[in-house]
């Protein structure tokens, strides 16, 4: 069956500088096995499939697959999937919000300044880590950290704060046999270059350590953590992907209700059809 298909660039500030996402605009009738096989074939960090919602309060449903498994939630697939859904003629029930259904439940999105932003979901694990894990992270990063905490909204992130963006960019982590650690690192920038912090996201695998170019889920939980540490902090812009030759920008804003909105640009790179 011929199905509408797009690859979009999420969070990029220039062409092909963000995080790519494959989106099948209609996944109706596909089995779990078929979705997983196609996601493995695209060989991108995530591939999504849009479906009619099962929840009456949602506008659409999305299933998110890595090359090996399904995820309950991920940030850049949320923004990219919403952009494709709207571009395919999707009409939200409400003018001010779009509601996505996924593995973690309902996620709200809104349009802002020509971009999309999602409301950060609640973390499934937060708070300080134990001293054993802190020392393990410092050994992995080969540097001392200012603070470290759980920042897990599904993928399993642990967050570490360094003194500066330069120190974040200089990292050459040694994960060794620590292959279960999904580690996000953030440091403040002293350069007036349109961003306030530098972020890197590491998720080691059995064969090689990998780094994600621009990570919506991590930036969402990082913002929740950083704004808890500094209640006066209401908004900032994170740059990510610099060490990989990318240039992604993620905009974080906390509204009066305490919801943190995670926004960025989405650009269509490839549009066509997939035979599934």
Indicate the length of the chain as a whole number.
276
Q: How is domain 2-120+263-275 classified at the CATH fold level?
A: Diaminopimelate Epimerase; Chain A, domain 1 (3.10.310)
Where along the chain do its domains lie? 2-120+263-275, 125-258
Instruction: Name the burial class of residue 271, with classes exposed (0-12), middle (13-18) and buried (19+) by CB atoms within 10 angstroms of its CB.
Output: middle
Residue 232 and residue 100: Cα distance in Å, rounded? 30
Return per-residue pLDDT of the chain as tens, 276 residues.
999 999 999 999 999 999 999 999 999 999 999 999 999 999 999 999 999 999 999 999 999 999 999 999 999 999 999 999 999 999 999 999 999 999 999 999 999 888 999 999 999 999 999 999 999 999 999 999 999 999 999 888 999 999 999 999 999 999 886 778 899 999 999 888 899 999 999 988 765 568 999 999 999 999 999 999 999 999 999 999 999 999 999 999 999 999 999 999 999 999 999 999
CA distances from 196 to 135, 188, 262 (A): 27, 6, 15
CA-based R_g, the chain, Å: 18
Residue 221 and residue 157: Cα distance in Å, rounded? 8
Tell which residue, 238, 239, 244, 240, has the closest CA to residue 260.
Answer: 238
Are 2-120+263-275 and 125-258 in the same CATH fold?
yes
Residue 91 and residue 202: Cα distance in Å, rounded? 36
Supply the DSSP string of 175-186, one letter for each residue: -TT-TT-EEEEE
The CATH code that applies to domain 125-258 is 3.10.310.10
pTM: 0.95
Strand-pair partners of 63: 49
Question: Is residue 211 flagged as an active site residue?
Answer: no
Of residues 33, 46, 122, 144, which has the active-site annotation? 46
């Amino acid at each position: 069956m011929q199905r509408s298909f797009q690859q979009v660039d999420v969070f990029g500030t220039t062409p092909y500088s963000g995080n790519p996402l494959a989106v099948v605009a209609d996944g109706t009738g596909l089995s779990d096995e078929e979705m997983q096989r196609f996601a493995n074939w695209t060989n991108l960090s995530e591939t999504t499939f849009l479906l009619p919602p099962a929840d009456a309060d949602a506008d659409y449903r999305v299933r998110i697959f890595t090359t090996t498994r399904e995820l309950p939630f991920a940030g850049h697939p949320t923004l990219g999937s919403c952009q494709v859904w709207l571009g395919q003629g999707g009409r939200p029930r409400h003018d001010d919000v779009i509601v996505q259904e996924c593995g973690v439940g309902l996620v709200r999105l809104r349009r802002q300044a020509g971009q999309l932003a999602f409301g950060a979901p609640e973390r499934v694990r937060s708070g300080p880590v134990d001293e054993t894990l802190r020392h393990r992270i410092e050994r992995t990063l080969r540097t001392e950290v200012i603070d470290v905490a759980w920042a897990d909204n599904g993928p399993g992130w642990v967050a570490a704060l360094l003194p500066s963006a330069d120190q974040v960019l200089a990292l050459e982590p040694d994960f060794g046999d620590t292959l279960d650690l999904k580690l996000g690192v953030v440091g403040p920038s002293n350069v007036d270059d349109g961003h306030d912090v530098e972020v890197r996201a590491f998720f080691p695998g059995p064969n090689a350590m990998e780094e994600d170019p621009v990570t919506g889920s991590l930036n969402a939980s990082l913002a929740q953590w950083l704004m808890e540490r500094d209640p006066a902090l209401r908004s900032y812009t994170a740059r990510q992907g610099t060490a990989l030759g990318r240039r992604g920008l993620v905009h974080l804003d906390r509204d009066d209700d305490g919801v943190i909105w995670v926004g960025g640009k989405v650009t269509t790179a490839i549009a066509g059809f997939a035979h599934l």
